[in-house]
Structure 1
Amino acid sequence: MLLQTPICDFGWKAPDFVLKDPDGQVMSLEQIRGDKGTLIAFICNHCPYVKAVIAQLVGDVKILQEAGIGVAAVMSNDFHSYPEDSPQNMKIFAAENGFTFPYLLDEDQSVARQYDAVCTPDFFGFDAELGLQYRGRLDASTARVVPGARRELREAMLAVAKTGKGPEAQTASMGCSIKWK
């Protein structure tokens, strides 16, 4: 089911979390947090919207990390009903796509609920104090890449790194609904 994210609630504070990656390594929001901001991306392995943009996302994340933005991806889908999203497949997906950031499993879906994540991909861009500054899309791509599309997420998070503020105008992300238990 195709869903769109709500508009940005500027200043909303990032809920803390502690999650494991597929190898069992524990990561907290504090460990992920960057000096200039933090990006939490709710994604999964099987969604055609994520698959279409994963190369662009990984490339943009490298630039954001260089600018002091901490990044993590969270997989909250019910992988028992959607085995392509299993922890083993998360490891494969991250390796095949060259992730330079942790890919964390939200098995009980509590983090997705705390963040009010609704779809994959769903992006939450926070300032250095973990106040929300961006809840928009990666770019104009949907389940197909739009060549030459403006890098909206990257631009927004680079502005957050520089000024602490995200853009007033943001376009909602769209994608597959989170697969709730």
Structure 2
Amino acid sequence: MVLMETPSCNFGEKAFKFNLTDTNGKEWSLTDFTGGNGTLIMFICNHCPYVKAIQRRLVVDVLKLIDVGIKSVAIMSNDPDDHPEDSLENMQKVATKFNYPFPYLWDQSQEVAKAYDARCTPDFFGYNSSLELQYRGRLDDSGMKTLSNTNNHDLLKAMINVANTGKGPKHQIPSIGCSIKWKNDI
């Protein structure tokens, strides 16, 4: 496992268009996640212990964000040949097991991850209603702990602020996680 950290938020960077299929075969595009108070695009996977540790908390936080008009989507860009746990079949199982309240999309070509410059899983991109990047930080302060008794709900607080003001916090702590598993990566 290669540990990676997200870069600083490039405030105002526009979201990139995409068309991807979810775990049920339905096609989604960026426009399906616009029109509310903001958009949260999450690069996650199934195998990474950092993602596994946050899955339940992520679902709870996304449900709270839905209440303030934030639309959310998760994208899995890893090469399943490198990590079979990240296969489409296993994506379906994980989405069902955790009752994801957001579409879980497969970036089979990895073009979307490259366009967004996604570095790790989890990697969070929080946009305002104009699709301008306002948050690129961590979920919370728990790291790889699966406990839910965190005091700093960074992503939740940031995206509620984005929903209310259109602006993200100036101070953001990077997300850390497993590197994206690129095809033909040596």
Unaligned runs of 5+ in 2: none
Residue of structure 2 in register with 1:176 after alignment: 178
In 2, distance between residues paired with 1:148 and 1:134? 19
TM score, norm. by length of structure 2: 0.95
Shift of 1:141: 1.8
Q: Pairwise CA RMSD of aligned residues?
A: 0.9
Seq. identity, %: 53
Residue of structure 2 in register with 1:133 after alignment: 134
Contact 2:142 2:150 in 1 (8 A): no
Q: Where has structure 1 moved over 6 Å in runs of 4 or more?
A: none
Shift of 1:34: 4.3
Task: Give 1:37's aligned amino acid.
Answer: G
Residue of structure 2 in register with 1:73 after alignment: 74
Residue of structure 2 in register with 1:148 after alignment: 150
Unaligned runs of 5+ in 1: none
In 2, distance between residues paired with 1:34 and 1:41? 18
Task: Give 1:92's aligned amino acid.
Answer: K
Secondary structure of 1:27's match? Answer: strand
In 1, distance between residues paired with 2:123 and 2:35? 19
Shift of 1:24: 1.5
Residue of structure 1 in register with 2:163 after alignment: 161
In 2, distance between residues paired with 1:138 and 1:62? 14
C-alpha distance 101-173 of structure 1, shift in aligned 2 (>3 A): same
Shift of 1:23: 2.2
TM score, norm. by length of structure 1: 0.98
Residue of structure 2 in register with 1:116 after alignment: 117
Aligned length: 181
Contact 2:20 2:106 in 1 (8 A): yes
